[in-house]
Chain A
Amino acid sequence: MTTTALAPARATTRPPTGGWALRDTAAMIGRSLRRSLRTPDTLIMGIALPVILMLLFVYVFGGAIQTGQAAYVDYVVPGIILLCAGYGAATTAVSVASDMTGGLMNRFRTLPVRPVAALTGHVVESVVRNAVSTALVVGVAYLAGFRPTAGLGEWLAVAGLVLLYVLALTWTAVCIGMVSSGPEAANGFTFAIMFLPYVSSAFVPPESMPRVLQVVATYQPVTPVTDTVRAWLTGAPGGQPLVALAWCAGLLVVARLTAAWLFRRRAAR
């Protein structure tokens, strides 16, 4: 009996790639979502932290920050949404790094599967997680007095831009995860990416910063994306949709290509 169960059999015939590639990706997405639910501490932190930060900014610092807008909550919500996207992306770097350092990626590579599907799984998981935390931030913000003036079209535009931003950051995180020596090193990425929104128009108007930081704030992606989301949501001035789109699309393309290149380079050692 034992002998039959362990006996080698003819290899399954190699299936056509097209349909299977989709099903493989679906399997990997299922895996990543399941993993996400299995680390409730990370999940809760990732979802609750943006809410906590928003409440902190609205109720603790907000009173002291002059933005030229009526309510600080209206000013800060776009920044918080982008901040939580950064946090969510950092989690992906850790997942990718642990796949690469364990033997799991090698196992995927010996299967008749395009192993890049594993990366796609992590990216889709990040998008889903960010959608949940963004919805939560917007909901809690509403309770805190956030009153966007956006119509359906503007909301859809915001969703599209934030999605693009999340994809760009997540693919960047995938690259970081692949070059890191391990999950702990990848975790360091959290700080770099969490720091970006602070030196931008996310929480305070850049005009209030010293000259050097104003330059940094102007020429980094968070400022145009924040300004654009803010303009669409609340009608505030300063939206630069083309600059924001160019940043996100550019970063996404570069990160996606780099990820593929890093992956091939690892495979072709």
Chain B
Amino acid sequence: MDDPMIEARALRKAFGSTSVLAGVDLAVPRGGVLGLLGPNGAGKTTTVEVLSTLLRPDGGTATVAGHDVVREPDRVREAISLTGQYAAVDELLTGRENLRLMARLAHLPRAAGRARGDELLELFDLVAAADRLVRTYSGGMRRRLDLALGLLTRPAVLFLDEPTTGLDPRSRSDLWAVIRDVVAGGATVLLTTQYLDEADALADRVAVLDHGRVIAQGTAAELKSGVGAAHVELRLADGRTERVATDASVPDVRRILADVELRRLPVDSWRVAVPTLDDVFLTLTGRPAEAAPADAATLLTREAS
């Protein structure tokens, strides 16, 4: 890669006797968006913490924006922003005060800091709530403010650690829209997620992390094609399960169900299943992802009459 903004080579980190990173290799080109996908405990947050200078690696090297994270942490800090799993906002300040405090601490000139803060409130749809205490914000508003705080200094590299975990679907899609805008602005992004659809929606490349190692890399489409297509899953009266591949379109599903009816199969229940993180894991490792959510698996579920 010509101009990697984020590059990690053989990163290792252990907490006590527990190895968390067992040699992580990553590279994200300037303006690229890498989705780091994996279940809880795979090492996603640890990777982000090492790359954002919060944790010192035990071995391997990493550079961000051309600076070594161990030798030049201050240089790296100037170029990055980190939005963690827990919104790093002051609950007892208003949204605007949070932005002003961070602008002061980032050493922006006073007037420029204020203008930048107001601009971000506008962009992140927080103007109406700007003078309310953050304590009264919804989860989605907190994350948006958190991201806005990270963008005050126009960082070249953004780390988003599970940016939408725990958000309701609407806040989630609102946040996706904001992240897409940020990406369109040209920032380099490393995004961690447990959800394949999130990586699919935001990242141009996906790396799958398992037990502290990258076990697959590619575009979301490449990963999914390795897993196999969507299928209709039929649970039969005698307990057997049958799977029929589908493109998940209405005509195709209708065709399959018509066929089921024609063959008078004794179907107890059926559903259309699309590839999930579970399936990616199953395919890549031969075992299920331990902590992956099960609810995202189903596109639709119906009881057969």
Which residues of A come within 8 Å of B, CB atoms?
A: 2-9, 11-12, 14-15, 20, 23-24, 27-28, 30-31, 34-35, 38-39, 98, 102-104, 106-113, 267-269
Contact = CB atoms under 8 A, between A and B. Distances in A.
B184 A2 contact: yes
Contacts of B157: 8
Given A15-B107, A111-B77, A269-B56, A8 B155 contact: yes
Contacts of B221: none
B88 A103 contact: yes
A3 B184 contact: yes
Contact of A12 (B15, B54, B108, B185): B108
A31 B55 CA distance: 26
Given A31-B101, A112-B78, A107 B119 contact: no
Given A6-B187, A268-B56, A112 B93 contact: no
- Range for the number of chain B residues in contact with chain A: 35 or more
B235 interface: no
Nearest to B119: A5
A110 B81 contact: yes
Contact of A3 (B55, B106, B185): B185
B149 interface: yes
Among A5, A14, A35, A268, which residue has the most Cβ atoms of chain B within 10 A? Answer: A5
The CB with the most chain B CB atoms within 10 A, among A3, A27, A31, A110, is that of A110
Given A3-B185, A6-B187, A110-B53, A35 B105 contact: no
B151 interface: yes
Contacts of A24: 104-105
B185 A11 contact: no
A102 B181 contact: no
Q: Give 7 nearest A-B pairs by CB, closest first.
A: A103-B88, A6-B185, A107-B88, A11-B78, A7-B185, A9-B154, A8-B156
A113 B78 CA distance: 11
B84 interface: yes
Interface of B: 15, 52-56, 74, 77-82, 84-93, 97, 101-102, 104-108, 119-120, 123, 133, 146, 149, 151, 153-157, 181-182, 184-187
Contacts of B153: 11-12
B86 A12 contact: no
> Looking at A23, A24, A107, A269, which has the most chain B CB atoms within 10 Å of its CB?
A107
9 contacts: A2-B184, A3-B186, A6-B154, A7-B154, A12-B78, A24-B105, A34-B97, A110-B52, A269-B55
B92 A39 contact: yes
A4 B54 CA distance: 29
A103 B54 contact: no
Contact of B79 (A11, A28, A98, A107): A11
Contacts of B52: 110
B185 A8 contact: yes
Contacts of A9: 154
Contacts of B101: 27, 30-31
B156 A11 contact: yes
Given A8-B156, A107-B102, A110-B82, 14 more contacts: A6-B185, A7-B187, A8-B155, A8-B185, A11-B78, A14-B78, A27-B105, A30-B101, A35-B90, A102-B86, A104-B89, A109-B54, A110-B52, A112-B78
A111 B120 CA distance: 18
Contacts of A23: 104
B17 to A, nearest CB: 15
B92 to A, nearest CB: 4
A154 B185 CA distance: 64
Contacts of A103: 84-88, 146
Contacts of A28: 105
Contacts of A27: 101, 104-105
A113 B73 CA distance: 12
A192 B28 CA distance: 51
